[in-house]
């Protein structure tokens, strides 16, 4: 690639990163300062406290976002992929020397991933509400309509998901560029009128502000943390845009615009303390309020879109890591594999978002719930990064501690500060995350019990098929593919076929699909073929948790390994287990009932693996767990 085309590619990715990655943190100015100086914190609205609070926000952006995420954590990629699932897989592989430590790291990462769903509910709700609340600043007559308009916008956003985000995605970057430009311009105009706010650049003012608060500092930091929510998206979307475009977007536009705007809000409040009711919208003249509300609403929709798309991606990865049952996945772009739509996830998220909007009623009430799930996820990310630095990168212990120790203390401060708001709404995202974690843990443990029980009841494969190969049973002149979880025992579908149809195919393939805890499996390592006895082969297909499984396409690779398959003369035999919960060993009975319910309602195996509908035979079997 030429230098010119490389620069064009980086520029396009940087523009895309602005639209997707920075929507959440970019819309934080809509509500952060209002909450920092709200009645709940009790901070005096005077010049010294304004300078101190803005200084904490500025240096928090430098420490938490710039140093922790942009400089350190973006280096911890798993074959180019980021996000807590990729980081968990990397840390568990590197540091999980024993099964116990590996499981512990996996559970830690899975809990962090589960909390992401709590954030996926709160972010669209608080962002859209805070934008539409600007109508109240324009005229109090709009106040009764804020909630209905917010609900209508959110329903429209989630209803639009089924059409795909490709078209809207092209508009994301330019709109967010305009948004950050507006932030910078409005902030600069206020700073010019009140340049004393520039004292916030001095970190000593941040330290004085925090130390003067005493134990009240946790309440204050619990509000200031709203300025950092969305930082996790930098790492989560690294696989889509790459490290360099995300870093360029942050250093070149996002950080300067946010810093200038927060200082601008501080300058405005120094000049006009009454603007605290909604500092963001008071920075605009009355004639520009409605356009400002429209731009803010569009920006918050984009921020929400990024979180919704992230929930789809996270769910797909969790399914392929064996943490969630199969669900319907629609690919909304012929070119971009990452653009997917999951109806089940979409409507459950919408239900959660509407409950949050109706339950809390305003962005200020919801601010109490916002932050706790995000900060716990940030803390887990730091812990996992320590294990990556120490075990995967092989750095000395002192260096690993030095690299993550300061960030660990910062994250603990943020988590404790947000925990104070637990009874004011902080329980909501934690409850959602806890519920998702229980579902994931139950599904994973249930699958283990199911496979173990099948393994106990089914005969060993090799002796069984060796006896069959010497039998003169009638053989159908087609290829039969038996998809199994355990390739060492006889597939239930094969035994049913022999028992009820009394027929054996000329060519029988025992197929196993394995999802590895890496994002991508190279095409050269996709498939292994092993010959067993005449007429029988084992085929293993390998995928990463971001690969899209396509069995017929993968089977085309068999010919290069000496097993040509005519896919037009192939039948796929699938075993569908009907789970029967029993009291006793295994899991708690209520968890077994939950697993049985999820198993019955999980998506079609044929659809998940892209099997042709007219070539699939499903045979059911009852399994007690």
Same domain flag for 165 and 120: yes
Contact 303, 20 (CB under 8 A): no
> What's the whole-number mean pLDDT along residues 165-192?
84
Any domain includes 470: yes
- Supply the pLDDT for residue 320: 81
Least confident residue range of 87-91, 351-355, 470-474: 470-474
State the virtual CA torsion across 349, 428, 360, 22 in degrees, nearest 10: -60
> What's the whole-number mean pLDDT along residues 507-534?
89
- Supply the pLDDT for residue 392: 86
Same domain flag for 402 and 464: no
The predicted model scores a pTM of 0.82
Any domain includes 2: no
- Supply the pLDDT for residue 192: 96
CA distance 530 to 536: 9
- Supply the pLDDT for residue 618: 83
Over the stretch 305-355, which tens digit does the pLDDT of each residue have?
A: 778 877 887 888 888 888 899 888 877 655 555 567 888 899 999 999 999
Contact 110, 437 (CB under 8 A): yes
For residue 168, what pLDDT band results from cuts at 50, 70 and 90?
A: low
Q: Residue 150 has which token pair?
A: 């917010």
Give me the CATH number covering residue 335: 1.20.1740.10
- Supply the pLDDT for residue 198: 96
**pLDDT over threshold 50, residue 616:** yes
> What's the whole-number mean pLDDT along residues 570-578?
85
Same domain flag for 259 and 404: yes
Any domain includes 454: no
Q: End-to-end distance of the chain based on CA atoms, in angstroms?
A: 56
> What's the whole-number mean pLDDT along residues 92-109?
82
- Give me the chain's average pLDDT, please: 86
Residue 319: C-alpha distances to residues 328, 447, 579 (Å): 11, 12, 19
- Supply the pLDDT for residue 6: 59
> What's the whole-number mean pLDDT along residues 138-142?
78
> What's the whole-number mean pLDDT along residues 370-395?
89
- Supply the pLDDT for residue 169: 55
Least confident residue range of 9-18, 85-94, 523-532: 9-18
Residue % of the chain over a pLDDT of 90: 38
Any domain includes 148: yes
Same domain flag for 230 and 305: yes
Same domain flag for 506 and 379: no
Show the CA angle centred on residue 449, arms to residues 321 and 624, nearest 5°.
Answer: 130
Any domain includes 180: yes
Structural domain total, the chain: 2
Residues 6 or more apart from 335 whose CB is under 8 A from it? none
CA distance 363 to 131: 9
- Supply the pLDDT for residue 398: 92
Which is more confidently placed, 52 or 135? 52
Same domain flag for 421 and 486: no
Same domain flag for 298 and 195: yes
**pLDDT over threshold 60, residue 1:** no
Any domain includes 467: yes
- Supply the pLDDT for residue 414: 92
Which is more confidently placed, 500 or 156? 156
> What's the whole-number mean pLDDT along residues 222-232?
88
Over the stretch 255-295, which tens digit does the pLDDT of each residue have?
A: 999 999 999 999 999 999 999 989 999 999 988 999 999 99
Any domain includes 374: yes
CA distance 317 to 339: 13
CA distance 266 to 236: 31
Same domain flag for 386 and 504: no
- The pairing of beta strand 527-531 with beta strand 504-516: unpaired
**pLDDT over threshold 60, residue 167:** no
> What's the whole-number mean pLDDT along residues 356-381?
86
Q: Which domain holds residue 529?
A: 459-624
Q: What is the DSSP letter of 78?
A: B
Any domain includes 517: yes
């Amino acid at each position: 690639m030429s230098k010119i085309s490389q620069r064009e590619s980086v520029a396009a990715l940087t523009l895309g990163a602005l639209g997707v990655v920075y929507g959440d943190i970019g819309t934080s100015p809509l509500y952060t300062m209002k909450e920092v100086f709200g009645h709940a914190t009790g901070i005096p609205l005077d010049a010294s406290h304004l300078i101190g609070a803005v200084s904490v926000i500025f240096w928090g952006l430098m420490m938490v976002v710039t140093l922790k995420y942009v400089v350190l954590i973006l280096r911890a990629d798993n074959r180019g992929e980021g996000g807590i699932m990729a980081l968990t897989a990397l840390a568990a592989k590197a540091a999980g020397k024993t099964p116990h430590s590996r499981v512990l790291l996996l559970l830690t990462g899975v809990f962090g991933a589960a909390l992401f769903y709590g954030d996926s509910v709160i972010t669209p709700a608080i962002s859209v509400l805070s934008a539409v609340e600007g109508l109240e600043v324009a005229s109090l007559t709009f106040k009764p309509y804020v909630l209905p308009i917010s609900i209508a916008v959110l329903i429209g956003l989630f209803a639009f998901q089924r059409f795909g985000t490709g078209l809207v995605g092209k508009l994301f970057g330019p709109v967010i560029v305009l948004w950050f430009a507006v932030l910078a311009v409005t902030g600069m105009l206020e700073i010019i009128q009140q340049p004393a706010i520039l004292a916030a650049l001095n970190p000593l003012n941040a330290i004085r502000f925090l130390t003067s608060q005493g134990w009240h500092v946790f309440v204050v930091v619990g509000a200031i943390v709203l300025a950092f929510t969305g930082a996790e998206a930098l790492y989560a979307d690294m696989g889509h845009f790459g490290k360099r475009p995300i870093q360029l977007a942050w250093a070149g536009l996002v950080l300067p615009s946010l810093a200038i705007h927060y200082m601008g809000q501080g300058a405005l409040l120094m000049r006009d303390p009454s603007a605290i009711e909604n500092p963001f919208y008071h920075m605009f003249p009355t004639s520009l309020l409605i356009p400002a509300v429209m731009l803010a609403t569009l920006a918050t929709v984009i921020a929400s879109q990024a979180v919704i798309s992230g929930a789809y991606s996270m769910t797909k990865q969790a399914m392929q890591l064996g943490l969630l049952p199969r669900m319907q996945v629609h690919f909304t772009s012929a070119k971009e594999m990452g653009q997917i739509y999951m109806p089940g996830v979409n409507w459950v998220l919408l239900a959660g978002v509407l409950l949050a909007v109706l339950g809390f009623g305003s962005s200020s009430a919801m601010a109490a719930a916002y932050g706790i799930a995000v900060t716990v996820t940030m803390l887990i990310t730091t812990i996992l990064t320590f294990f990556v630095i120490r075990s995967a990168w092989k750095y000395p212990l002192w260096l690993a501690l030095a690299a993550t120790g300061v960030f660990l203390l910062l994250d603990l401060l943020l988590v404790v500060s947000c925990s104070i708001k637990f009874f004011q709404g902080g329980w909501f995202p934690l409850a959602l995350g806890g519920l998702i974690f229980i579902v994931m843990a139950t599904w994973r443990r249930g699958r283990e019990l199911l496979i173990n029980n099948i393994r106990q009841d089914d005969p060993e494969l090799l002796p069984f098929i060796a006896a069959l190969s010497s039998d003169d049973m009638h053989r159908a002149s087609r290829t039969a593919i038996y998809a199994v979880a355990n390739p060492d025992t006889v597939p239930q579908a094969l035994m049913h076929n022999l028992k009820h149809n009394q027929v054996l195919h000329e060519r029988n393939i025992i197929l196993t699909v394995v999802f590895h805890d890496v994002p991508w499996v190279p095409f050269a390592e996709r498939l292994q073929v092993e010959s067993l006895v005449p007429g029988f082969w084992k085929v293993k297909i390998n995928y990463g948790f971001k690969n899209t499984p396509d069995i017929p396409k993968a089977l085309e690779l068999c010919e290069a390994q000496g097993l040509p398959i005519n896919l037009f003369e192939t039948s796929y035999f699938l075993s569908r287990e009907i789970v029967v919960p029993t009291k006793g060993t295994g899991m708690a009975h209520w968890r077994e009932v939950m697993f049985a319910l999820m198993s019955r309602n999980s998506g079609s195996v044929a659809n998940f693996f892209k099997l042709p509908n007219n070539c699939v035979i499903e045979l059911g079997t009852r399994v007690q767990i």
